[in-house]
Amino acid sequence: MTDFLVLDGITKRFGNLVANDQISLRIQKQHVHALLGENGAGKSTLMKILYGVYKPDAGTITLDGKLLNIHSPQASRAAGIGMVFQSFMLIPAFTVIENIALSLRDVGIVVDEKKIEHDIREISDKYRFGIEPRAKVWQLPLGAQQKIEIIKLVMAGARLLIFDEPTSVLAPHEVEGLFDIFNRLRLDGYTIIFISHKLNEVLACSDEITVLRGGRVVGSVVRADATESLLVSMIVGDKTADSSTYARKSIPANVEPVLQVRDLCAKDDRNRPALENISLHILPGEILGVAGVSGNGQKELGEVIQGVRPALSGSIKLAGQEIIHTSIAQIRRTGVTCVPEDPLRQGAVPVMSVEENLALSDASSTQQRDWQRMNWSAARSRASWFTEKFGLKMPRLNVAIEALSGGNVQRIVFARELSAPAKLLLAYYPTRGLDIHAAEIVRLALLDYRDQGAAILLISEDLDELFAISDRIMVMYHGQNVGERLPAEADVQQIGYLMTDGKYTPEQEVEHVAS
Amino acid sequence: METANSPSFPMLATWQARTANIPQPVRRLLGFAGAFALALILFSVVLLALGKDPIAAYEQIYLGALADDYGRSEVIVKMIPFILCALAVAIPAQVGLVNVGGEGQIYIGALFASVVALAFGDLPAPILIPLLVVAGMIGGGLWAGIVGILKAYISLNETICSLLLSYIANLIVEYVIHGPLKDPGGSNWAYSARFSDNAILPMFGDTRISLGIIFALVAVGVYFWVLNYTRWGYKMRVIGGNAEAARRSGIQIKQYIIMTMIIGGAMAGLAGMVEVTAIQERLRGGISNGYGYIGFLVAWIALQRPVGILLIAAILGIISVGGDWLQIGVNLPASTVNILMAFILFFILRNQGMQKKEA
């Protein structure tokens, strides 16, 4: 076997963040090579470098023995590298032929539809895609659209195919079909890079697996040597659950939960099930940490609780009161506040100043009538209060939010949402984009808020953070609550299994111990 | 991401570097003046192409609009509909809506006011005139409210919807002046009977400046106050700035879409009412003279800001009044100045686009 693709010392920085740190990787010809890692591990950045979307700060790429100078996606395609993105680049109103003709570089002014149709049929028959070239794309299911993307790449002469989380759009039975296609492509001489964070899928289809963590390569293992437990420990690292840092208050028995969710179901933006009969509760003065690979319903859970997304069935009780089918404003007034997933888009107005953004949490209040003057001093005090109490610096009040860094937007939104007492706080990735010192302050502020009696739903990608400040950890997988653990007693490996597989069985335990 | 910041035009980059230490408001004003100058220059080229002397044309505009009291008073007369129609665009624009239906809202406002003026012409002026104001505003508000409701509940595109409703409004007025409200005494002219004197707005001195200028100034004042100081204006700006954040903060976006359309339409309706009660003294076709569209220009050139609306309404008022004199002075149709107005909008928008890129 020969090295088909060699990445050597690839480094990419975004400001202070090192997304890829000295990544070196060898990929063999005709292999399915899986890239595995948590969100933010650097997989996508690395693939975007390979595809010419980003230019690396350092490092070289060698394909088939030739040193490549990839400065654009065009250059990458010309070198024989093709990528299937998570969102497909297809025009729904066009036929399959028309979509593929658009991607071909050597079509003339008059499109030879006959020839393209013939080529599509040939490839479709060879790999058993079952694609009808004259069908309109909008009529086809997502699985078929993915196959069109593959046909595009094959017809454009790509030899290395990159799949960015291809299974995220597929139904379970389609996943196996995709792996069959991988296999047939491989036998035909294609090399495949498969990005995923699902263990079972990676083990089912790949020849070799490379794990990334924190922008670095943890290691590569061939399929024969790979076990679930080995991969889990590579993904999550040698974390020892440290739950002793912060003082925890014991919660008196028999208190009524602040939030009581029962059998809640909801759909995601693509109309697929996102929450499947999830049940959970949070007591006053308790932080419930949610562990899980993102995209397993965390986003939808918070949105349904806030009233932003409709629930299909189930019940959500806030302090004993049913809040499904009430308005967003009413739910806010009942005492739900949120540090959203994407503060700039969901919790701030970019063209407005910091001061004006600090007033946004007043918008649903009924203490003042709409024709009355804005209470700007109350808005300003939200930032100064936070700075005085916790010593976290805030940006100047007259700067527009769009001129601020992500971390500064996060500070503003965080301070604003925590400035008034609420029954329930939904905190999405509260420390994302913050430096170590600011992140520490934010954690302390969360604990302080909890100690004042609020219930907190903490969604984080950082397992260390979840273990450090949660009173209880719940794992979400496929829109379900697949297990709860107390941080003091939980094992990071167990959580890792639950996150990536949805279950933790005795066999896995044996394997885990044996390794 | 990186390529967006790296300058692709070296000349532009050095220019940006040189102007970087000029304070933002000054830079904005300079950009504004520059855009204006460019529009005047380009219009000169058009005039030269038509074989006319641009200097003479500009002189004619000045003489017509600014040289004497009559010209100046006529500029103020034009400013009334310009300001009100600019508000009709600016208020919905605060929540991100594009109302191009000012024309239709003027016509329906004028129609409602005319019906009241003809039906209750015997009432004394102090009672009748407030009634006319209310009727005009209800008419315009209703016409725009239809657009708001369709936008809020079935996501119909408000731009196209308001534009198409303008044609319907125009035809309704045409029908009414050919039919039910046709002047019985006016041989065969398609217009309504003249309103009674009680329904005619009082004028200042012997000019044609009516009480309407007070309505327009009060409206701009209220707009300024609401927008900058009240919770109401704040919520409007939040919706316009980021509708998703507004929704998640519990702001009732649908209510705001409908209300801002209604209030905007009421402003255009008021302009229609002023036009029939102060200028025409009866309902007839073609009363608007494109005020709805000029109002759109005013609002967008002024970035929907209250003081800007007053200023730009004055500038376009001068161009518009002066344009009427081009016919006499340099033998050009009065509508030639529409080209100049379009150039101004074009360069101002381009200037805004560039400033956004810099920021």
Instruction: Write the pLDDT tens digit of every residue in B220-237.
Output: 999 999 999 999 999 999
Residue A503 confidence (pLDDT) above 90:
no
Same fold, A3-236 and A259-335+422-514: yes
Q: Residue B186 phi/psi, 5° resolution?
A: -95, 65
| Closest Cβ opposite residue A346 in set B229, B244, B252 | B244
Could you read off the pLDDT of B150-207 as tens digits, one per residue?
999 999 999 999 999 999 999 999 999 998 888 888 777 888 999 999 999 999 988 9
Largest CA distance in chain A: 77
| Closest Cβ opposite residue A340 in set B234, B248, B251 | B248
Bigger pLDDT: B260 vs A466: B260
pLDDT band for position B10 (cuts 50, 70, 90): low
- B235: contact with A, CB 8 A cutoff: yes
Measuring CA to CA, how many Å separate A171 from each of A150, A272, A352?
18, 10, 42
- Which residue on chain B is closest to A372 by alpha carbon? B230
- CB atoms B230 and A361 under 8 Å: no
Could you read off the pLDDT of A282-293 as tens digits, one per residue?
999 999 999 988
Measuring CA to CA, how many Å separate B303 from each of B96, B102, B233, B315?
12, 17, 16, 15
Q: In this structure, what token pair is assigned to residue B169?
A: 């409004």
Are B144 and B88 a contacting pair, CB within 8 Å? yes
What mean pLDDT do residues B304-330 have? 90
- A211–chain B nearest CA distance, Å: 27
- CB atoms B238 and A55 under 8 Å: no
Residue A242 confidence (pLDDT) above 80:
no
- B335: contact with A, CB 8 A cutoff: no
Please tell me the predicted confidence (pLDDT) of residue A314. Answer: 95
How far apart CA A386 and CA A404 sit, in angstroms, is: 18
Residue A240 confidence (pLDDT) above 70:
no
Nearest to A145 by CA among A174, A119, A117: A174
| Closest Cβ opposite residue A360 in set B238, B252, B359 | B238
Which of A444-458, B50-64, B116-130 is predicted least confidently? B50-64
- Which residue on chain B is closest to A345 by alpha carbon? B245
Model-level ipTM above the cut of 0.90 = no
Are A278 and A301 a contacting pair, CB within 8 Å? yes
Judging contacts by C-beta atoms under 8 Å, the chain A residues touching residue B230 are 370-374
Judging contacts by C-beta atoms under 8 Å, the chain B residues touching residue A356 are 234, 237
How far apart CA B345 and CA B335 sit, in angstroms, is: 16
Bigger pLDDT: A100 vs A248: A100
- Torsion sign across C-alpha atoms B298, B299, B303, B308: positive
Are A234 and A515 a contacting pair, CB within 8 Å? no
- B356: contact with A, CB 8 A cutoff: no
Measuring CA to CA, how many Å separate A356 from each of A336, A344, A377, A426, B245?
21, 14, 11, 22, 13
- CB atoms A329 and B359 under 8 Å: no
- CB atoms B249 and A364 under 8 Å: yes
Q: In this structure, what token pair is assigned to residue A442?
A: 């934010």
H/E element holding B161? helix B158-178
Bigger pLDDT: A16 vs A63: A63
Please tell me the predicted confidence (pLDDT) of residue A389. Answer: 87
Nearest to B74 by CA among B210, B249, B266, B237: B210
Please tell me the predicted confidence (pLDDT) of residue B233. Answer: 95
Nearest to A353 by CA among B237, B187, B248: B237
What mean pLDDT do residues B251-279 have? 97
pLDDT band for position B352 (cuts 50, 70, 90): confident
pLDDT band for position A492 (cuts 50, 70, 90): confident
Are B305 and B94 a contacting pair, CB within 8 Å? no
How far apart CA B213 and CA A367 sit, in angstroms, is: 37
Are A287 and A471 a contacting pair, CB within 8 Å? yes
Residue B308 confidence (pLDDT) above 50:
yes
Running DSSP on this structure, what letter comes out for residue A261?
E
**What is the Cα gyration radius of chain A?**
25
pLDDT band for position A509 (cuts 50, 70, 90): low
Q: In this structure, what token pair is assigned to residue A122?
A: 């040939």
Residue B6 confidence (pLDDT) above 60:
no
H runs (alpha helix) in A347-403: 354-358, 376-390
- Domain boundary assignment for chain A: 3-236, 259-335+422-514, 348-421
Residue A245 confidence (pLDDT) above 70:
no
Q: What percent of chain A has pLDDT over 90?
A: 49
Are B65 and B104 a contacting pair, CB within 8 Å? no
Helix axes A376-390, A436-451, angle to 10 degrees: 110
Which of A106-110, A356-360, B53-57, B156-160 is predicted least confidently? A106-110
Are A421 and A258 a contacting pair, CB within 8 Å? no
- A40–chain B nearest CA distance, Å: 18
Range A241-263 burial, b when 16+ CB lie within 10 A, else e: bebeeeebeeeeeeeebbbbbee
- B23: contact with A, CB 8 A cutoff: no
- CB atoms B248 and A328 under 8 Å: yes
| Closest Cβ opposite residue A364 in set B2, B226, B250 | B250
How far apart CA B101 and CA B292 sit, in angstroms, is: 7
- B2: contact with A, CB 8 A cutoff: yes
- CB atoms A306 and B238 under 8 Å: no
Measured in residues, chain A has a length of 515
Report the 10 Å Cβ neighbour count for A150.
25
What mean pLDDT do residues A216-234 have? 89
Query: Which CATH number applies to A3-236: 3.20.20.140, 3.40.50.460, 2.30.110.10, 3.40.50.300?
Result: 3.40.50.300
Bigger pLDDT: B310 vs B188: B310
H runs (alpha helix) in A423-462: 436-451
Q: If you classify domain A259-335+422-514 with CATH, what class do you get?
A: alpha beta
Q: In this structure, what token pair is assigned to residue A119?
A: 């080529």
Please tell me the predicted confidence (pLDDT) of residue A472. Answer: 92
- Which residue on chain B is closest to A329 by alpha carbon? B250
H/E element holding B27? helix B24-49
Find tokens 């189930």 and name the residue. Answer: A314
Mean residue pLDDT of chain A comes to 87
Could you read off the pLDDT of B54-89 as tens digits, one per residue?
998 899 889 989 999 999 999 999 999 999 999 999
* Residue partners of A375: CB distance under 8 A and separation at least 6: A359, A362, A368
Please tell me the predicted confidence (pLDDT) of residue A28. Answer: 93
| 3-state DSSP assignment of residue B234 | helix
- B234: contact with A, CB 8 A cutoff: yes
Judging contacts by C-beta atoms under 8 Å, the chain A residues touching residue B249 are 328, 332, 347, 360-361, 363-364
- A193–chain B nearest CA distance, Å: 25
- CB atoms A55 and B359 under 8 Å: no
Largest CA distance in chain B: 74
How far apart CA B157 and CA A85 sit, in angstroms, is: 31
Which of A216-230, A371-385, A429-443, A465-479 is predicted least confidently? A429-443
Residue A506 confidence (pLDDT) above 80:
no
Please tell me the predicted confidence (pLDDT) of residue A507. Answer: 57
Measuring CA to CA, how many Å separate A238 from each of A233, A460, B271?
7, 19, 73
| Closest Cβ opposite residue B229 in set A346, A369, A374 | A374
- A271–chain B nearest CA distance, Å: 19
| Closest Cβ opposite residue A363 in set B226, B229, B250 | B250
- CB atoms A360 and B249 under 8 Å: yes
- B251: contact with A, CB 8 A cutoff: yes
Measured in residues, chain B has a length of 359
Mean residue pLDDT of chain B comes to 89
- CB atoms B231 and A373 under 8 Å: yes
- A74–chain B nearest CA distance, Å: 16
What mean pLDDT do residues B304-319 have? 94
| Closest Cβ opposite residue B245 in set A330, A332, A349 | A349
Nearest to B272 by CA among B146, B127, B85: B85
Please tell me the predicted confidence (pLDDT) of residue A110. Answer: 77
Residue A513 confidence (pLDDT) above 60:
no
Q: In this structure, what token pair is assigned to residue B18?
A: 């040189």
How far apart CA B60 and CA B72 sit, in angstroms, is: 14
Starting at the earlier edge strand, list the strands of the sheet with A321-322: A273-282, A259-267, A313-318, A321-322
- Torsion sign across C-alpha atoms A299, A304, A306, A310: positive
- B230: contact with A, CB 8 A cutoff: yes
| Closest Cβ opposite residue B242 in set A349, A369, A403 | A349
- CB atoms A363 and B251 under 8 Å: yes
Range B134-147 burial, b when 16+ CB lie within 10 A, else e: bbbbbbbbbbbbbb
Residue A198 confidence (pLDDT) above 90:
no
Residue type at position A251? I
Running DSSP on this structure, what letter comes out for residue B158?
H
| Closest Cβ opposite residue B238 in set A55, A349, A373 | A349
User: How many helices, marked H, and strands, marked E, lie in chain A?
Assistant: 18, 20
DSSP code per residue over A66-83: EEE---SHHHHHHTTEEE
Q: What is the CA angle B138-B140-B144, rounded to 5?
A: 110
User: How many helices, marked H, and strands, marked E, lie in chain B?
Assistant: 15, 0
Please tell me the predicted confidence (pLDDT) of residue A476. Answer: 94
How far apart CA A341 and CA A32 sit, in angstroms, is: 33
Are A397 and A352 a contacting pair, CB within 8 Å? no
